A and B are shown apart, each in its own frame.
Chain A
Amino acid sequence: MNTRATIRLLPDGRRLHLSDGPIDLIIGADGASKEARHAYQAAAHRFVTILDELCDELPLLRARATLDSPRLKGHIARRMSDAVSVYGERCFITPMAAVAGAVSEAVLVAMIEAAQLDRAYVNNGGDIALHLSPGQSYAIGMIERPEHPSLFGKFEISASVPVRGIATSGWRGRSFSLGIADAVTVLARNAAAADAAATIIANSVNLPDHPAIRRVPACEISPDSDLLDLPVTRAVGPLCTQEIFQALQTGATVAQGLQAKGWIHSAALYLQGRVLLVEPSPQLAGVELCAAIAEEANDGLARSQRNAHA
């Protein structure tokens, strides 16, 4: 039995806080009180084994994703690997880029398999998996960095929008970034996909060789980093407006590319007080496509919902 994990309700008496090693989840569930309780129990039950499952395959999860990457065993490990595999050919990425989103998703799936909920979220340090039953919605606020909780954007996700995952990446976050974005927030069909895409987009918000940016090989800070000796951003000095938009535009171009492939819904890129939005494309807003995407891509969630109704 895992004795490291913390399982508790937050002082508000409503939200559940689960923490184990580097994993830290804040969970909310709305529905009948009995159902919410069941969901929390299921979340805690699923949660306690996650860190050990992941650590079992840690070396592979930290290795670059390639076409001939060995097959992973754990369900979450596979979701991570699936989420990053589409990028593996073009750039350096490891399954760890999707770890937070994949964990959120796994816990959310456990909750909605166990209980009938109106809506629920699992927030893993900003990488969020959502469940919305018809007619429900969530209001989401975006902040630039955790110690500066001022909103730079707000949006609403309703059940009819094909978004069930939100992720944020940036050099100020807990994970390393190759880029200079303070924050890139991505909306996608599921949390693992959002997580991987946010990493890719944040990496591409960049000004190569700019003197105001201090970069350090990842392994010099963290000897076992999955990013090996790649230069990760440690400090970004003041940039002029033109430079800021140049960097944001590079990232936005990448984001538009991902959007065109249908891998993300939309994105917000933030750097030194400036924001660029990659709005949802008109095709993606189409209802037919929404349904198709929800069916095909949201596999875990869709399956569990069917089970819940069965």
Chain B
Amino acid sequence: MSDVFPKDTVRCDACPVLCYIKLGQTGACDRYGNVAGQLVRLDPHIVLDRAKSQGTPLVPFLEREGEWDGSLMKSKEMFVTAIGAGTTYPDYKPAPFIVSSEVEGVDMVTVVTEGIFSYCGVKLKIDTDRHVGPERNMVRAKGEPIGHVTTAEYGSQMLSLGGVHHLTGGSKSEGRVTCETLLDLCNGKEVALTIDEGASLTVAAGRPPIVNGQREERMRVGCGSATIGMFAKQWFGKVDEVVVVDDHITGVLSEHQAGKMLGVRETGISLQGRRSTPGRYFQVAQPGTGWGGTNLSDPLAILKPFKAKAAWPHLRLLMVSTTGEHFAYYELDESLRPIERDLPEPLRESVERIRENCEPALTTVLFMAGAGGSLRAGATENPVKLTDSVKRSLTRVTAGGAPTYVWPGGGITFMVDVSRMPEKAFGYVPTPALVAPIEFTLKKSEYAALGGHMEFVRTLDEVMREKQRQRQLTSLPENPWPLKPTPKSEEEA
């Protein structure tokens, strides 16, 4: 059927309506359109309005109500984001918006474009101590390989997803599923992943991860040994022995360096598992969803009988997990068997303190991409000068107004926390590649010096007057205002 239509018509495959879209037109949803023969998402162009005062409980990115009074524009601080701005791809032409405005008496320019990134991916930090799968193993979505498990970090498992090899180097279906999954993760949607020889995960940016169907509520305060170190002083004198149960390292107060320093008396306790250093035990049980990430439902299972030489009747024993979710208090009877008792009030406080110190477990999503040739050419005739200006911090790189971290070294490879960006900031093209907003903000003088497209600079007021397709959002108060003047260059200083 496609041969009936002119060559520049595209077929949109974003939903089952499968619209044929002619050049310059949009599909039935008005969200996808044919731009220069490419299927492009056309969501409204987002303009940020600076949050009134930092810390005001503003609803992030709430759509403004009512009619826009154009006359108020000058007195407001506005930032034109790249979300919905359009793109320079595939042509080498000036960025769709090059906006000048005066900020704190300095003329600033923001070059605004939607970048089309085939070199891009996401880094996922999943706050859990559960084993999600061996390092380097494949991460799959809908059965397709889309990334791998990388180095575990403190209290978290890390996944590296996407990248050019999965997007364009594998089968068509691998590329499509990778693109779809990255897009969903970046836009804050929930995604189901499986890891070869590992767990199944349900993750979404800024929400607790679900590992093998189990929702992670809290990160542990530390491993069992660290917990002993943190709380030894608070326990001293209130209890004779503490065992902090943890899947990684289980800690024992009386043997631990922290206990020794306080002069905690030897208790004749003996644990299952492998002793690493004094008071630190590995593998006291199997991994699971019980006490401290082990498979334990009864913590006494890891204790061997108390040694009569050192232990004494009425010895007070606290067992607690590294999240404080599980705890039990025992006293030894005359034959040195632990008998469970109610937790005394002073110890209850310490258990609650552990719980309090466990931060909410989240999945965080960092989008990472490299700004390539056509994108930089949209900013300047001499792309390397833009790179250089970014390296020297004379040009600020933001993504939908959110701050980015630019990797040292060559090129403009940046990372951004997608939770700090406006919702639905990302799109895709069926190449497949992700479409992400990117803005370069720098002094107008600096922009001229690096060979910027000065003839295409428009004032903020001019841009704001083109009301069509614009949507005003309030900037997130925790983000630095993207238009703050950049530092002085050496010539000026």
Contact = CB atoms under 8 A, between A and B. Distances in A.
Interface of A: 3-4, 6, 11, 20-22, 24, 51-52, 55, 58, 147-150, 174, 220-224
A4 B59 contact: no
Given A21-B15, A22-B28, A22-B30, 18 more contacts: A3-B184, A11-B59, A11-B62, A11-B63, A21-B29, A22-B15, A22-B29, A51-B15, A52-B16, A55-B16, A58-B17, A147-B467, A147-B468, A174-B28, A220-B22, A221-B25, A222-B28, A223-B5
Give the 5 A-B residue pairs with the shortest CB-CB distance, closest first: A21-B15, A22-B29, A55-B16, A22-B28, A223-B20
Interface of B: 4-5, 9, 14-22, 25, 27-30, 59-63, 66-67, 184, 189, 467-468
Contacts of A149: 66-67
A94 B147 CA distance: 47
B468 A223 contact: no
A200 B14 CA distance: 30
Given A11-B62, A148-B67, A224 B20 contact: yes
A154 B5 CA distance: 45
A6 B14 CA distance: 13
Contact of B19 (A11, A24, A148, A224): A224
Contact of A21 (B17, B25, B67): B17
A58 B28 CA distance: 13
A181 to B, nearest CB: 20
Contacts of B28: 21-22, 174, 222
Contacts of A148: 67
A210 B325 CA distance: 76
- Interface SS of chain B: helix, strand, loop or mixed? loop
Contacts of A52: 16
Contacts of A58: 17
A174 B25 contact: no
Given A147-B468, A223-B5, A51 B16 contact: yes
Contact of A22 (B4, B17, B21, B184): B17
A144 B469 CA distance: 17
Nearest to B192: A3
Contacts of A55: 15-18
A4 B183 CA distance: 11
B15 A222 contact: no
B415 to A, nearest CB: 26
A221 B22 contact: yes
A6 B188 CA distance: 11
B22 A51 contact: no
Given A22-B17, A51-B17, A147-B467, A223 B30 contact: no
Contacts of B29: 21-22, 24
A222 B20 contact: yes
Given A11-B62, A147-B468, A149-B67, A223 B15 contact: no
Given A220-B22, A222-B20, A224-B19, A21 B14 contact: yes
Contacts of B18: 55
Contacts of B60: 11
B140 to A, nearest CB: 15
Contact of B15 (A4, A11, A221): A4
A7 to B, nearest CB: 10
Nearest to B2: A223
B475 to A, nearest CB: 15
A4 B189 CA distance: 10
Given A11-B59, A221-B22, A223-B5, A174 B30 contact: yes
18 contacts: A11-B60, A11-B63, A20-B15, A21-B15, A22-B17, A22-B29, A24-B29, A51-B17, A55-B15, A147-B468, A148-B67, A149-B66, A149-B67, A150-B67, A222-B19, A222-B28, A223-B5, A223-B20
B62 A222 contact: no
B20 to A, nearest CB: 4
A21 B14 CA distance: 7
A4 B17 CA distance: 12
Contacts of A3: 184
B48 to A, nearest CB: 16
Contacts of B20: 222-224
A263 B60 CA distance: 44
A223 B5 CA distance: 7
B185 to A, nearest CB: 13
Contacts of A224: 19-20
A293 B28 CA distance: 34
A24 B15 CA distance: 13
Contacts of B27: 22
Contacts of A4: 14-15
B365 to A, nearest CB: 17
B292 to A, nearest CB: 35
Nearest to B468: A147
A221 B21 CA distance: 8
